[in-house]
Amino acid sequence: MKAAYFLVFFFLFSSFSSFSSALTDAEASFIARRQLLHFHAGHDLRGDHEYEVEVNLKFPHSRLRRAYVALQAWKKAIYSDPIKTTENWVGANVCAYTGVFCAPALDDPQLEVVAGIDINHADIAGYLPVELGMLSDIAVFHINTNRFCGIIPKSFARLTLLHELDVSNNRFVGSFPEVVLQIPNLKYLDLRFNDFEGKLPPELFNKELDALFLNNNRFTSTIPDTLGNSPISVLVVANNHLEGCIPNSIGKMVNNLNEAIFSHNKFAGCLPPEIGYLSNVTVFDVSSNTLSGLLSKTFKGLEKVEELNIAHNMLTGFVPKSLCKLPSLGNFTFSYNYFNGEDQECVPPSRKDTLFDDTSNCLPNRPKQKSAKQCQVVVNKPVDCGRAKCGGRPAPSKPSSPAPKEEPPKQQPPKEEPPKQQPPQEETPTLEPQPPKPELSPEPW
Ligand SMILES: *[C@@H]1O[C@H](CO)[C@@H](O)[C@H](O)[C@H]1NC(C)=O
Ligand SMILES: *[C@@H]1O[C@H](CO)[C@@H](O)[C@H](O)[C@H]1NC(C)=O
C-alpha cells in the first residue's frame, strides 16, 4: 500500500519535474558523459592550430573566425534550446548571433571583435566545450538561468580580458572551479544556484574580485582565513554547508565590504569582535547558523548598517542600546536566539523607521518567547568568547605561507554595465527538495 502510494507520488513528481525542466535525469547524465568524453585531452585546448578547422566562409579577420569556431562548437554542445536562442547562430556574421555582442578590440579599435556573451534565461541544456577558450576578446560571459551541466573547462583560463563570469542557476557540478582563479582580470564571479561542492580554495580571497556569489551550492569547508585579504564589496555564501568560524580577518575588509551574507550554513562559535570594524557595511546577515556567545561591544561600529540579521542562532546575553540606536538601521532581526535581556530601545516599536524582531528569545515580559525550560539549558551555560576558538583572540598565524596579494591587472578591462547584484529572479530554485541529480559515473545505457 505504502509502496503504491510512493510510486504514484514518484510518477506525479517526476513527470512534473520533467515537464518543468524539460530535461530528464537520463538526458542530464548523457550530457555529462558526453562532456567528459569530449574532455579527454585534459579539458583544455590542444593548441589553437588544431582548431583551425576548414571553414568555407570569409571573415574580416582571424579573431572573428576563431569566435566562429568557438560558437559553432558550443552550438554542437547544446541539446535543447527551447526558445531557439541559437537558431540564428549560422554563417560568418557572428556579431549578429543572438546573445553575442561585438565591440572594437581593446588593442586595435579598427577591429570589431566578440566582446561579450549574454544568453541569460535562455533555458538551454548543454555543456561548455573547451573551444570557448578561443573567445579571447570577451569581457562578459553571462549564462545564468539555463541548464548547462558538467564543469567549467580549463580553457577559460585563456579568457584574459574576462571581467564578469555569471554561470548562476545552472547544473554545474564538481569541486570549486579552480580555473576561475586563473582568469586574471575577473571582478565579478557568480556561481550561485549550482551543485558545486567541497572546499573553498584560500586563493579565492586573494583575487581582486569585486563581487562573489557562492550561495545555494554544496560547499562544505570553513571560510579560509584569507577572507580578510579580499577586496570584495559583496560576499554571499548563504545556503551551503559551510562550517567553522567566521574568520577574525573579516575586520580587514573595512574599506571594501558592503554586503555580507553568511546565512543558512553551519557556522559556529562566537561572532568575531572585528565585525565591528566594518563601518561601511550596509547588509550583514549571519542568520540560521549555530553561533553562540554574547554580542561584542564593538558592534556599535557598524555605523552604516541598514539590515542586520542574527536570527536563528544560539546567541545569549543582552541586546544593547548602542546596537539598536545605530543611525542607519532599518531592520534588525534577532529573533530565535537565547537573549535574556534587551535595551528599551530594542523593543518594537521603539523607532519609527526601524523594524525590530525579538521573537522567541528568553526575554522577560515580552510576547512569544521560549519557555523557561528551553532557556535554562543554554542561558545557564554561558560561552566565554574571549577564550573561544571562534571569535576569541585571533590565533597566532600559522607558518603556512600566506599567499601573496595579486598584482593589480595591467590591462584595464573594458567598461561594461555595472554588475547586477540582485539575486536571480523568481524562477530561481529555492530551498525546496530537488529532483535527483545526474550521475557522472558511467553506467550501461
Ligand atoms: C567607505 O565607503 C566610502 C564610499 O562609499 C569610501 O569613500 C570610504 O573610503 C570607505 N571606507 C571607510 C573606512 O569608511
Ligand atoms: C526584515 O528582515 C527580515 C530578516 O532578514 C526579513 O525577513 C523581513 O522581511 C525584513 N522586513 C522588511 C520590511 O524589510
User: What was the pLDDT predicted at 391?
Assistant: 73
Structural domain includes residue 59: yes
Task: Walk along the chain (445 residues) and give the pLDDT tens digit of each residue.
Answer: 333 333 333 333 333 333 334 455 565 556 555 555 555 434 566 654 445 555 678 899 999 999 999 999 999 999 999 999 999 999 999 999 999 999 999 999 999 999 999 999 999 999 999 999 999 999 999 999 999 999 999 999 999 999 999 999 999 999 999 999 999 999 999 999 999 999 999 999 999 999 999 999 999 999 999 999 999 999 999 999 999 999 999 999 999 999 999 999 999 999 999 999 999 999 999 999 999 999 999 999 999 999 999 999 999 999 999 999 999 999 999 999 999 999 999 998 888 889 999 999 999 989 999 999 999 988 888 888 877 777 765 544 444 444 444 344 333 433 333 343 344 443 333 333 333 333 333 333 2
Given a contact cutoff of 8 angstroms between Cβ atoms, the answer to whether 226 and 202 are in contact is yes
Structural domain includes residue 136: yes
Residue whose Cα lies nearest atom 7 of ligand 1: it is 255
- Per-residue HEC secondary structure of the chain comes to CHHHHHHHHHHHHHHHHHHHHCCCHHHHHHHHHHHHHHCCCCCCCCCHHHHCCCCCCCCCCHHHHHHHHHHHHHHHCEEECCCCCCCCCCCCCHHHCCCEEEEECCCCCCCEEEEEEECCCCCCEECCCHHHHHCCCCCEEECCCCEEEECCCHHHHHCCCCCEEECCCCEEEEECCHHHHHCCCCCEEECCCCEEEECCCHHHHHCCCCEEECCCCEECCECCHHHHHCCCCEEECCCCCCEECCCHHHHHHHHCCCEEECCCCEEEECCCHHHHHCCCCCEEECCCCEEEECCCHHHHHCCCCCEEECCCCEEEEEECHHHHCCCCCCEEECCCCEEEEECHHHCCCCCCCCEEECCCCCCCCCCCCCCHHHHHHHHCCCCCHHHCCCCCCCCCCCCCCCCCCCCCCCCCCCCCCCCCCCCCCCCCCCCCCCCCCCCCCCCCC
- Decide: 331 in ligand 2 pocket, CB within 6 A: yes
From ligand 1's centre to the CA of 249, what distance in Å?
18
- Decide: 359 in ligand 2 pocket, CB within 6 A: no
Give residue 106's domain range.
25-285
* Residue 308: strand pairing partners: 284, 332
List, chain by chain if needed, residues with CB within 6 Å of any ligand 1 atom: 254-255, 279-280
User: What was the pLDDT predicted at 407?
Assistant: 41
Structural domain includes residue 14: no
User: What was the pLDDT predicted at 51?
Assistant: 52
User: What was the pLDDT predicted at 363?
Assistant: 94
Distance in angstroms (rounded) separating the CA atoms of residues 378 and 199: 31
Structural domain includes residue 382: no
Looking at residue 57, which CATH number applies to its domain?
3.80.10.10
> Counting ligands in written order, which one lies closest to the CA of residue 310?
2
The structure's pTM equals 0.80
Structural domain includes residue 120: yes
User: What was the pLDDT predicted at 379?
Assistant: 82
> Counting ligands in written order, which one lies closest to the CA of residue 287?
2
Residue whose Cα lies nearest atom 5 of ligand 1: it is 280
User: What was the pLDDT predicted at 25?
Assistant: 58
In angstroms, the Cα distances linking 398 to 4, 202, 275 are: 58, 14, 22
State how many domains the chain has: 1
From ligand 1's centre to the CA of 281, what distance in Å?
10
Neighbours of 99 (CB within 10 A): 18
Structural domain includes residue 377: no
- Atom number in ligand 2 closest to CA 311: 4
Structural domain includes residue 317: no
From ligand 1's centre to the CA of 410, what distance in Å?
24
From ligand 2's centre to the CA of 309, what distance in Å?
8
Test site for ligand 1: of 255, 279, 303, 304, most ligand atoms within 8 A of the Cβ? 255
> Counting ligands in written order, which one lies closest to the CA of residue 333?
2
From ligand 1's centre to the CA of 391, what distance in Å?
25
Radius of gyration of the chain (CA): 25
User: What was the pLDDT predicted at 393?
Assistant: 59
Between the two ends of the chain, the Cα-to-Cα distance in Å is 31
Test site for ligand 1: of 280, 304, 305, 306, most ligand atoms within 8 A of the Cβ? 280
From ligand 2's centre to the CA of 280, what distance in Å?
20
- Decide: 309 in ligand 2 pocket, CB within 6 A: yes
> Counting ligands in written order, which one lies closest to the CA of residue 280?
1
Distance in angstroms (rounded) separating the CA atoms of residues 159 and 411: 13
User: What was the pLDDT predicted at 24?
Assistant: 57
Neighbours of 412 (CB within 10 A): 10
Structural domain includes residue 251: yes
- Atom number in ligand 1 closest to CA 280: 1
